[in-house]
Chains A and B, each alone.
Chain A
Amino acid sequence: MGKLSLLGPFSAIKFLFRKPKTLRFPFEQKETAARYRGFHLNDWDKCTGCGNCADICPNEAIIMEVHPEIKAVPENGEKNERPKLDYGRCCFCGLCVDICPPGSLSLSRDYLHIHFDPDTFVFTPRDDNADDKAFVPDEQYSILKASLSHRKRDYEGFSSDMDFALFNPDRVEMPEIPPDERKMSFIEQVTGYNQEEAVKEAQRCLECRLCEEACPAHLKISDYIKAIYDGEPAESLRIIYEDNPIPSICGRICMKHCEDACSLRLRGEALSIRWLKRYAADTIKDFKETLEQNPGSYTGKKVAVVGAGPGGLSLAYFLKLMGHDVVVFDELSGGGGIVRVGPPRYRLPEESIDKDVDYIASLGVDFRFNTRIGRDVEFEKLMSEYDAVYIGIGNTVSRSTRVENSEKCLLALDYLEQNKTDRKNIVTEKIIVIGGGNVAMDVARESLRLQNIQHTGKNTVVSMVSLEDWDELPATQEEIDEARDEGIVFNPAWGPKKVILDDFGKVKGLLCMKVKSVFDEEGKFSPTFYEGREMVIEGTMIVEAIGQGPDYSFIPKSLMEKIEFTVRRKLKVDENGMTTLPGVFAGGDIVNINMDAVTAIADAKIASEGINSWMSR
């Protein structure tokens, strides 16, 4: 404390003669800070309409408004909704920016809007480059005219920063057996989440439900993940079973369209929805006890299901819950259909398939395995004895390349099926796999494992030949990466021309041509080749895995004529899943362009409703 004084204060008079420090607004303006939190900007091209901003807004200032002019693409997780802001609510906290998964929302450094009409404070933000009327360049900008419809261009302020994002972009790594170890045997490649990991992963879900629209079967993904987060896998399983009765299978081999729509994938890794489903299915040891489901009260109707694949299983489950009698026929010795044959053990062990099938059987569904329609039971008999018939046979016949000497090659499904039996294929040291799809990958990777088992320590090789180039390969990227990690040799963009035989008529190699293009201008399959660029791949065993087709031989000719087909020999069905034959329903790969398990489940769900109403008509 200084000395009190009466004259000292007069020293302040000196400021009379100094320049004032006032900022003479509006003649002088102060630039707002680079991080200023003003009005919103929204890049409509990036925005997916996920609605997370509306959910996080503490003041309910954001509502999602439908814009019909935007095309919604559910498979990519894009909705035609865009946020609308009410500046009579907004508190400019910027939480919406921090939560925005695509990073399309940001706050500009504009903050001026003055009006006597409260309605003008409601505003749909756009990107500053998309709206020439509202956003004016610097030279036309006047601060006295500034409002929501007169803003500065290129004036971004507070914007998203991944280090401070409210969501977690990194998924919990799925524990995996390393390539060198797993390629030695058929041990399951991924080991599954434990509870801690599952809860941690489930916690990342933003509950925007884009995945649910992308999922063909419209599973309540958000809800079952929430249940996992809450530590209630049983509840989670219950929710899954509402739409999908084969979680153990789908939890392993689902094509996960949901993850392609997950908003987290936009600037991070998508939520592991498939693995979480698997966690729910694996954690619950006894489905029967947990789900406490009973078949519906008996209706007296009988339904025959041809094929115990994912579609057939699901249909049987849904119909059984409605109280119908269901008989499932399948030529294999167990349930699962294609998933029993196709996916290798390291991806889908039989125990998991049996777990799902057994549960469905435990509900009272009658499974007749080792029964082939057309051979053991006539199709007409089914039609006469049952109130409805569902065909879910899937694609069971592998196609061949039909190049020279291709009869010496093995076919993919046969090859895979045999591997599932005790008499596994005897493989050679050099194997060639033709094809670039997921089945080809399965074949190649199984072959690699068989080689490692049968020729341990020797120098073995599996080569793949595919028409498509790297970026066009139909197989999922995940599969390709894993296959390459395991040491499979890829020869993309090479087309097989001829199988080269040695003097004894045994396979010696494959003559290939360099591919110019696979599809023509209209997108149809018609490969063209560079003349003269040829290559010989050595191999003593060749497996063709270029696609599969259905086998309708069980349907008598008379009925076959009544069945109508659509493009690519797919069955024509109406909105209830019924074919042109009354009482015969169909679904799965023989109906869909998109051939995977979850689509078949979606079809089964529709068909179950259709059959139910058909029978009670």
Chain B
Amino acid sequence: MHIIELIFSPLLALLIGVFFLGLARKVMARIQWRYGPPVTQPLIDIIRLLSQKSASHGVAFNIGLVMSLAGSLVITLFLPFGKIAPMSNSGGMLVILYLMLIGPLGMAISSGESANPNASIGISRKLLLAMGYELPFLLVVLALMTAYNTTSITEIVSLQRDTGWSMFTFPLVLSGIAYLLILPAMLGVRPFEVVNAPQEISSGPLVEYGGPYLALATLQHALAFFIGISLFVNLMWGGAANPVIFFLKMLVVFFLGIFVNAVFPRLRIDQAIRYLWRWPSLIAFAGLILVCVTGS
């Protein structure tokens, strides 16, 4: 059973991630007065990309990409999806926080190899943006860990089953709001879509990716999307015992993210950082203090 879960969980994550990508395009299309592609479109794209031949730019180019994808896949093992949580007992928050760095890092290594200025600008933006949201995110996570007195996600989830969603429990409200505010940045949707920014830096780190490489990068992107949403649902919206309900919760978060994506322009990276370090950080900090004050 555990083995099956080990295999099944990343696949499920991939599936949902790709589905979200397709649904995102569909929802965006409807807001833009059009029908949009079929939901399966990202899958078609990935099949097509896998069959194309593309040039590699060196060993690090390949390794970085694989590393990034593998890192993201591993995270999914530690994230409970409803009851499906193959390795959530063994790691906890800190492992996830650590693993979450691997994704961007792998991409950085890989696209750094391509020696395209757009890619390097994209990577620097990605790291900057990560720096931007990591600070409030860490504060939020600290507040959570302090409030629940644990670092295990499964425990946080199960504790929420008793207390209600942590977002709506008293000391964690501020942290919840802060998390909500940085969620678009973590998902990489507009107004924080600064990393890819096709109109500015030709899709940034992805600029030299073609064919199978782009397919892998797309999968990585889908996983990142999944991880971002799933983490938020687990930490703030109480997770779920039932995978279906968990999925529905994810769907709601996903729609929120897409709505934000649909109605805002992209910010400049400096504006994004300024925003992330100002309000969300302040609120998260206040939330942490609140938790510390009330919790002890």
Q: Do chains A and B touch in the complex (CB under 8 A)?
A: yes
Residues from 11 to 59 in B contacting A, C-beta threshold 8 Å: 27, 29-35
- B32: A residues at CB distance < 8 A: 15
- A15: B residues at CB distance < 8 A: 30-33
Q: Contact partner of A20 among B35, B262, B263, B264, CB < 8 A? A: B35
Q: Taking A20-B29, A20-B30 as contacts, is the C-beta distance between A9 and B263 under 8 angstroms?
A: yes
- A10 contacts partner chain B, Cβ-Cβ < 8 Å: yes
Which of chain B's residues has its CB closest to A22's CB? B34
Q: How far is B30's CA from A213's CA once the two chains are assembled, in angstroms?
A: 67
- A13 contacts partner chain B, Cβ-Cβ < 8 Å: yes
Residues from 10 to 41 in A contacting B, C-beta threshold 8 Å: 10, 12-13, 15-16, 18, 20-22, 24
Which of chain B's residues has its CB closest to A17's CB? B30
The answer to whether B33 and A22 touch across the interface, beta carbons within 8 angstroms, is yes
Which of chain A's residues has its CB closest to B32's CB? A15
The answer to whether B29 and A10 touch across the interface, beta carbons within 8 angstroms, is no
Q: Contact partner of A13 among B29, B34, B263, CB < 8 A? A: B263
Chain B residues touching A, majority SS: helix
Q: How far is B262's CA from A15's CA once the two chains are assembled, in angstroms?
A: 11
What's the nearest-Cβ distance from chain A to residue B222, in Å? 22
The answer to whether A10 and B263 touch across the interface, beta carbons within 8 angstroms, is yes
The answer to whether A16 and B263 touch across the interface, beta carbons within 8 angstroms, is no
Which of chain A's residues has its CB closest to B264's CB? A9
What's the nearest-Cβ distance from chain A to residue B263, in Å? 4
- Max chain A Cβ within 10 angstroms of own Cβ: one of B27, B31, B264: B31
Q: How far is B29's CA from A18's CA once the two chains are assembled, in angstroms?
A: 12
Q: Taking A15-B30, A16-B27, A20-B30 as contacts, is the C-beta distance between A10 and B259 under 8 angstroms?
A: yes
The answer to whether A13 and B262 touch across the interface, beta carbons within 8 angstroms, is yes
Q: How far is B32's CA from A16's CA once the two chains are assembled, in angstroms?
A: 8
Which of chain A's residues has its CB closest to B263's CB? A9
- B34: A residues at CB distance < 8 A: 20-22
Q: Taking A21-B34, A22-B34, A22-B35 as contacts, is the C-beta distance between A12 and B262 under 8 angstroms?
A: yes
The answer to whether A20 and B33 touch across the interface, beta carbons within 8 angstroms, is yes
- B35: A residues at CB distance < 8 A: 20, 22, 24
The answer to whether A16 and B33 touch across the interface, beta carbons within 8 angstroms, is no
- A18: B residues at CB distance < 8 A: 33
Q: How far is B262's CA from A12's CA once the two chains are assembled, in angstroms?
A: 8
- B31: A residues at CB distance < 8 A: 12-13, 15-16
The answer to whether B33 and A21 touch across the interface, beta carbons within 8 angstroms, is yes
Q: How far is B260's CA from A36's CA once the two chains are assembled, in angstroms?
A: 42
Which of chain A's residues has its CB closest to B30's CB? A16
Q: How far is B257's CA from A13's CA once the two chains are assembled, in angstroms?
A: 12
Mark each residue of chain B from 246 to 269: 1 if its CB lies under 8 Å from any CB of chain A, else 0. 000000000000010011100000
What's the nearest-Cβ distance from chain B to residue A15, in Å? 5
Q: How far is B29's CA from A15's CA once the two chains are assembled, in angstroms?
A: 10
The answer to whether A13 and B259 touch across the interface, beta carbons within 8 angstroms, is yes
Q: How far is B263's CA from A13's CA once the two chains are assembled, in angstroms?
A: 8
Mark each residue of chain A from 512 to 551: 1 if its CB lies under 8 Å from any CB of chain B, else 0. 0000000000000000000000000000000000000000
What's the nearest-Cβ distance from chain B to residue A81, in Å? 49
- A24: B residues at CB distance < 8 A: 35
Which of chain B's residues has its CB closest to A10's CB? B263
What's the nearest-Cβ distance from chain B to residue A31, in Å? 21
- A16: B residues at CB distance < 8 A: 27, 30-31
- B29: A residues at CB distance < 8 A: 20
Q: List 16 A-B contacts (CB under 8 A).
A: A9-B264, A12-B31, A12-B263, A13-B31, A13-B262, A15-B31, A15-B32, A15-B33, A16-B31, A18-B33, A20-B29, A20-B30, A20-B33, A21-B34, A22-B33, A22-B34
Residues of A whose CB lies within 8 Å of any CB of B are: 9-10, 12-13, 15-16, 18, 20-22, 24
Beyond A10-B259, A13-B263, A22-B33, 9 additional contacts (C-beta under 8 Å) are A12-B262, A15-B30, A15-B31, A15-B32, A15-B33, A18-B33, A20-B34, A20-B35, A21-B33
